[in-house]
Structure 1
Amino acid sequence: MAQSERHRSIVDALSQKRRHPFAFMGLLLVGLLLTGGLYAAATTVNQVQGSNVADGYSAEQVEEGERLFVANCATCHGMNAEGTPEGPPSLVGVGAASVDFQVGTGRMPMQMSGPQARATDPVFNDEQIAQLAAYVASLGAGPAVPDEEWLDTDQGDPARGGELFRINCAMCHNAAGAGGALTGGAYAPSLQGVEGRYIYEAMRTGPQRMPVFNEANIPPSDTRDIITYLETLDEQGSPGGFSLGSLGPVSEGLLIWTLGLALIIAAMVWLTSRSS
C-alpha cells in the first residue's frame, strides 16, 4: 500500500509539472535549440561547400561558370567535367590557368576536330572566361592564373630568358619563337606577339603536345625572364632585313639555292643568246 501511494504521488507531481504555466515555455525553448542546431549544421555544410571556391573568385562566379559550362562545354566534357574515355579529357584538377589559356586564346570551344586545337578569336568575353575558370578551379586544385608580378617584364632578364628558352623551348618553337612542325600533323605554334599571360599558363598546364613546366622545373621568376626574352624579340623585329619566317638555315638555304639556280639559268640563257 505504501508503494502504491508513493507511485501515485510521483504521478501527481509529474502531472502538475506538465500543467505548470512554464511548461510550454520550456518546450518552446527546446524547439528553438533544436532548430538552431539544425541551422548551424546546415550552415557548416554550406561553408564546407563554399571552401571549394578558389582564391580570387567568388561563389557567384562559380555558379555562373557552372551555367556556362553546362550550356557550352558539357556536351564534350560531361556534365560533371569528368570527360570521356574516348573523347575530351577530364577537367578536374586542371586549374583556372588551363581554362584561361584554352578559352582566352579561342582554342576552346574547339572549332573543328584535328590533331590539335587552333588559336582563333575567343567566343567568350573576359568576364565569362573568369567565371568558367572559377567553376573549373572549384572542381579540384590546379595551376592558377598568374599574378601580375610574374608578368611584369620590367623586372625580367631577357638575356637569362633567352638562355632558358633555347635550352627548354627552342627545339620545338625554334630560337626566335616562330614555331615549327611536329609529328602526326601537330605543330608548335608561333610565340610572336602572344600575350605573356598565355605563355605563362601554357608552360604551367602543357596544352596539346607541350610538356608541363611546373614551378619546380622553372620557377616563376625564370618564367618571367622567358616572357621578357620573347617580348624583346617582338620589339626588335628583324634587324637583318627579311626574316624568312625566322626558320633559320632551312629557309635561308632554300632561298640561296633558288636564287643561285635562277642566276645560273639566266647566265646560261644570256650566254647562249650571245653566241648565236
Structure 2
Amino acid sequence: MTRITAWRRHPLARYAVLILALALVGTAYATFVQVSKPADAALASGKVDDVANGKSLFQAHCASCHGLNAEGTSTGPTLIGVGAASVDFQMSTGRMPASNPGAQVPRKPLPEWVDSDSISDIAAYVQSLGGGPTVPSGDQVDPALGDAAKGGELFRANCIQCHNWAGAGGALTRGKYAPNLNESSPTQIYEAMVTGPQAMPVFNDTTITPEEKRNMIAYIVQVREQTDPGGFALGRIGPVTEGLVAWVVGILALVLAAIWITAKKRQKS
C-alpha cells in the first residue's frame, strides 16, 4: 500500500491517469461506433467496377477543382468523407460541376455527359475515399409512407426561417439564399438534410431521425401540390409581399378612381 500511495503522489501520476483515460475512451469509441465501409456505395449496387469508372469520370471532369484524388484545391473543397449522398445531390441538381462559382451555386440543367449512371459511378468513387452519408433508399424518401402533419411541425420548427412555410425559399446574407424546394425531388430533399449543402446546416440522424425526415418530405410534397383558391399565389413568399401588392394595387385603384371622378365633374361643369 505504501508503494501504491507513493505512486499516486508522484508528479507524473496525473499524466499517466490522463493518458490511460484517453486510451480507454478511444478503445471504447472504436469498439461501439460503426465505421462506414470505404466502398459501401459500390458494393451496395453489386458493381465494383463503378468505382473505377467513377474515378475516370472524376479525374476528367472534377479534378481541376477538387484535385486528382479529391483532396481539394484553392478553388474546390476536399470531397473525402462527404459521401455519395452529397455527390448525388450536387450533380443531380446541376450545381456541380460548377462553371462559374460564386457566393452560391444555383440549380441548373445537367451537362450532356451527366446522367444517372455517371452520377452513381462518381458517387461510388467518392464514397470509397472515406465513407460518409449514402444515397437514401426508396422507402426512406417515399412521401406516401410519411406523416405530413408531423412533418409540418418539424418543418416549421427547423426550416421556415430560411425556406418559408411553403418551401418557396428566401434571401440570406452575403449573396446567399435558401432555394425554392418545388423543383427538388424527395431524394434531393433528404440528401440536403444529411449533407448540409452550402449555407444549410447538417441535420444528421441524431438531430432529426430518418422517419422524421420522411415526414418532412411528405409535408413539403403535400404543400407544393396544393392549389391556391384565393387567386394569385404571389410566390407564396408571405404577408410582406401580399401586403405590398395590396397597397400598390389598392392605392393605384383609388388614385385612378379619384382622377375619373374629377374628370367627370369637370365635364359636367
TM-score, normalized by length of structure 1? 0.79
Partners of 2:66 and 2:101 lie apart in 1 by 15
Q: Deviation of residue 148 (structure 1)?
A: 1.2
Q: Deviation of residue 274 (structure 1)?
A: 2.8
After superposition, residues 47-126 of structure 1 pair within 5 angstroms as 52-54=38-40, 55-57=43-45, 58-84=47-73, 86-123=74-111, 124-126=114-116
SS at match of 1:63: helix
Partners of 2:110 and 2:52 lie apart in 1 by 21
Task: Identify the residue that residue 159 of structure 1 maps to in structure 2.
Answer: 149
2:226 to 211, 236, 253: 236
Partners of 2:90 and 2:194 lie apart in 1 by 13
Residues 237-271 of structure 1 show CA distances to partners (whole Å, capped at 9, x for unaligned) of 32332110101111100111011111221122123
Unaligned runs of 5+ in 1: 1-50
Q: 1:106 to 1:193 in 2, by over 3 A?
A: closer
Structure having the larger proportion of residues in helix: 1
Q: Deviation of residue 185 (structure 1)?
A: 1.1
Task: Identify the residue that residue 272 of structure 1 maps to in structure 2.
Answer: 262
Higher relative contact order (CA 8 A, sep 6+): 2
Number of aligned residue pairs: give it: 225
**Code of the aligned partner of 1:102:** Q
After superposition, residues 214-229 of structure 1 pair within 5 angstroms as 214-229=204-219
Partners of 1:242 and 1:198 lie apart in 2 by 28
- Confirm or deny: 8 A CA contact 1:96 1:145 kept in the other structure: yes
Task: Identify the residue that residue 7 of structure 1 maps to in structure 2.
Answer: none
Partners of 1:193 and 1:77 lie apart in 2 by 27
Task: Identify the residue that residue 259 of structure 1 maps to in structure 2.
Answer: 249
Residues 104-161 of structure 1 show CA distances to partners (whole Å, capped at 9, x for unaligned) of 1110001312111111122211011000000000000200000111112221000011
SS at match of 2:101: coil
Residues 71-116 of structure 1 show CA distances to partners (whole Å, capped at 9, x for unaligned) of 00000001110102x3211000000000000011110001312111
Q: Which has the larger radius of gyration?
A: 1
Which range moves more in the overlay, 213-222 or 184-193?
184-193
Partners of 2:257 and 2:44 lie apart in 1 by 69
SS at match of 1:184: coil
Residues 218-248 of structure 1 show CA distances to partners (whole Å, capped at 9, x for unaligned) of 0000000010001111221323321101011
Partners of 1:205 and 1:240 lie apart in 2 by 37
Partners of 2:239 and 2:216 lie apart in 1 by 23
**Code of the aligned partner of 2:190:** Y
- Confirm or deny: 8 A CA contact 1:193 1:234 kept in the other structure: no
Residues 156-176 of structure 1 show CA distances to partners (whole Å, capped at 9, x for unaligned) of 000011110011000000001
SS at match of 2:225: helix
SS at match of 1:122: coil
1:171 matched to 2:171? The reply is: no
**Code of the aligned partner of 1:79:** L
After superposition, residues 5-16 of structure 1 pair within 5 angstroms as none
**Code of the aligned partner of 2:54:** G
Cα RMSD between the aligned structures? 1.2
- Confirm or deny: 8 A CA contact 1:161 1:226 kept in the other structure: yes
Unaligned runs of 5+ in 2: 1-36
TM-score, normalized by length of structure 2? 0.81
